[in-house]
Amino acid sequence: MNDYSPIDCGLHSQLELAIMHRRKLRLKWRPPEAAPHDDMIIPVDLITRDQAEFLVGVLAGNPIEVRLDWIIDFFIVD
């Protein structure tokens, strides 16, 4: 059973713009049964896998994937 909840289209569009313009994001997210994260990431792509969407990015030089419905908040950094 898939428990993914799609995010708002407006938020999805903001993530796409950040990727296209190569803008850093301050991203807050919380995976189930894990501590919340609050980090600066470089967004690279949005992908779909196993009927869920993920933000692919770089965090401190390492690749990262964050499921979109785990995102609590984000903002584009100038």
- Tell me the whole-structure pTM to 2 decimals: 0.92
Which pLDDT score is estimated for 56?
98
Mean pLDDT for the stretch of residues 20-42: 95
pLDDT over threshold 60, residue 36: yes
Query: How much is the mean pLDDT over the chain?
Result: 94
Which of 38, 35, 33, 36 lies closest to 77, judged by CA? 38
The CATH architecture to which 9-76 belongs is Roll (2.30)
pLDDT of residue 2: 73
Domain ranges of the chain: 9-76
Which of the pair, 78 or 4, is modelled with greater confidence? 4
Collect all residues with Cβ–Cβ distance below 8 Å to 68 and sequence separation of at least 6: 6, 7, 12, 15, 46, 52, 53, 54, 55
